[in-house]
């Protein structure tokens, strides 16, 4: 496996030119220069309303369509129309719940988890107000990864949808989505996957996973503050319209995009593909599109495994530290989102002691409140979370370890 070229990577992210260390990337990554170039190119170019016959409007429409196609490529959708664009993953999941539930009846069922981010729990749980039965799929104590077989007893002929995370933003564990998708499909239900914590680290292939819906945030994948929801085309067609009253169900994906997505941010997402293709080229891979993306993320995963091991090996060696999640760095099991607590110390106290070093880490529940509340932690301010991505370095991990030691 080719080693990651840190000189290329650092040069691609203007924010990395200083001495700050960004290790809160699960909350939002830095933006690749290619993304900023696309953003400014749109704003300083045909920045007009779409849908008119004049040339600038047609060009603007083409640029927004390029952005949608880029997002489709990132999730390996079969067509751009399978991508619904929006401001955040939380917003898009709320819109999806509003669209699907119009056809549901009292007594129909949804299954949520206690190990998800609230974005993929709240919109479904709120449907209880209209008579939908909400069931909770819980991890057994000490588990970091769900056993697919424990889902089966929760499913019935009234189950409409199962909502789950691809990766926990606390545990960092990669969940067996494809295996779970088979179980959900056999029950005649839909599967909605929150891929926010997975997409920055691996090439997403939503159709291969068997997901009916898959959401991720572009601003956590080196892009602008924007998000995308993949929907299998026939599943999107079946969903109700939540946009203008004169749109019918065939108007996919616009019926799911009330008010329009931000045009310049949509176009800027093309810069994510630009960056990953440039990354592949810089590492000797002469490819574009999906082959470049998959090759780039292969190198990224190997580098991130080294970052994980550097920190985890330190944490495993301390008797006063409890790792909240799998202690192994194996790239097939986890991403470099690492949570822990320290005996006798509040998580807030430790993080605030690290802050003056210029290293950005974080404490809290990260909106995975059901999971953190169920952990029975020794303090009330959640876990300490270190979330790396590929532009982080082993030297930065060593700086963090030194800062934790001093704290």
Q: In tens digits, what is the pLDDT along the chain, a chain of 407 residues?
A: 689 999 999 999 999 999 999 999 999 999 999 999 999 999 999 999 999 999 999 999 999 999 999 999 999 999 999 999 999 999 999 999 999 999 999 999 999 999 999 999 999 999 999 999 999 999 988 899 999 999 999 999 999 999 999 999 999 999 999 999 999 999 999 999 999 999 999 999 999 999 999 999 999 999 999 999 999 999 999 999 999 999 999 999 999 999 989 999 999 999 999 999 999 999 999 999 999 999 999 999 999 999 999 999 999 999 999 999 999 999 999 999 999 999 999 999 999 999 999 999 999 999 999 999 888 887 789 999 999 999 999 999 999 999 999 98
- pTM beyond 0.85: the answer is yes
Q: What's the pLDDT tens digit per position in 362-395? A: 999 999 999 998 888 877 899 999 999 999 999 9
Rounded to 10 deg, the angle between the 55-75 and 270-282 helix axes is: 60
Chosen CATH of 6-31+296-406 out of 3.90.1150.10, 3.40.630.10, 3.40.47.10, 3.40.50.300: 3.90.1150.10
Per-residue pLDDT tens over the stretch 242-267? 999 999 999 999 999 999 899 999 99
- Could you state, in order of their start, the residue ranges of all structural domains in the chain? 6-31+296-406, 37-272
DSSP-derived secondary structure letter, 139: P
The closest of 365, 338, 346 to 407, measured between CA atoms, is 346
Q: Is it true that domain 37-272 has CATH number 3.30.70.1710?
A: no
Amino acid 141: pLDDT: 84
Nearest C-alpha neighbor of 388 from the set 5, 55, 26: 26
Q: What is the pLDDT of residue 377?
A: 83
- Name residue 383's beta-bridge partners: 364
Q: Rounded to an integer, what distance in angstroms lies between the CA atom of residue 274 and that of residue 2?
A: 20
pLDDT of residue 114: 93
- Is there a contact between 112 and 132 (Cβ–Cβ < 8 Å)? no
pLDDT tens-digit readout, 321-372:
999 999 999 999 999 999 999 999 999 999 999 999 999 999 999 999 999 9
The closest of 263, 226, 223 to 43, measured between CA atoms, is 263
């Amino acid at each position: 496996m080719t080693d990651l070229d840190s000189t290329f990577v650092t040069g691609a992210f203007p924010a990395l030119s200083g001495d700050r260390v960004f290790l809160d990337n699960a909350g939002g990554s830095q933006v690749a220069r290619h993304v900023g170039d696309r953003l400014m190119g749109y704003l300083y170019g045909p920045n007009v309303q779409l849908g008119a016959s004049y040339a600038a409007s047609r060009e603007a429409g083409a640029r927004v369509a390029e952005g949608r196609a880029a997002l489709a490529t990132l999730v390996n959708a079969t067509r751009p129309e399978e991508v619904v664009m929006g401001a955040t993953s939380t917003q898009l999941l709320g819109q999806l719940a509003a669209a699907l539930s119009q056809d549901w009846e009292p007594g129909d069922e949804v299954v949520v988890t206690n190990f998800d981010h609230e974005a993929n729990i709240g919109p479904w749980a709120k449907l209880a107000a209209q008579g939908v039965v909400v069931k909770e799929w819980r991890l057994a104590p000490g588990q970091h990864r769900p056993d697919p077989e424990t889902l089966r007893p929760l499913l019935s002929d009234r189950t409409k949808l199962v909502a789950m995370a691809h990766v926990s933003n606390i545990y960092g564990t990669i969940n067996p989505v494809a295996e779970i998708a088979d179980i959900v499909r056999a029950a005649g239900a839909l599967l909605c996957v929150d891929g926010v914590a997975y997409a920055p680290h691996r090439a997403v292939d939503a159709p291969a996973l068997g997901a009916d819906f898959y959401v991720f945030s572009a601003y956590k994948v080196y892009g602008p503050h924007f998000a995308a929801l993949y929907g299998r085309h026939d599943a999107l067609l079946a969903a109700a319209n939540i946009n203008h009253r004169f749109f019918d169900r065939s108007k996919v994906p616009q019926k799911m995009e009330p008010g329009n997505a931000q045009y310049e941010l949509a176009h800027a997402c093309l810069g994510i593909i630009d960056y990953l293709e440039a990354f592949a080229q810089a590492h000797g891979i002469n490819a574009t599109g999906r082959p470049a993306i998959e090759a780039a993320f292969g190198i990224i995963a190997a580098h991130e495994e080294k970052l994980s091991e550097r920190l985890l090996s330190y944490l495993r060696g301390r008797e006063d530290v409890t790792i909240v999640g799998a202690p192994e760095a194996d790239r097939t099991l986890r991403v470099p989102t690492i949570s822990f607590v320290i005996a006798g110390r509040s998580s807030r106290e430790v993080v605030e002691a690290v802050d003056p070093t210029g290293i950005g880490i974080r404490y809290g529940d990260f909106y995975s409140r059901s999971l953190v509340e169920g952990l029975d932690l020794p303090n009330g301010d959640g876990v300490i979370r270190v979330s790396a991505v590929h532009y982080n370095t082993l030297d930065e991990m060593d700086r963090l370890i030194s800062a934790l030691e001093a704290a």
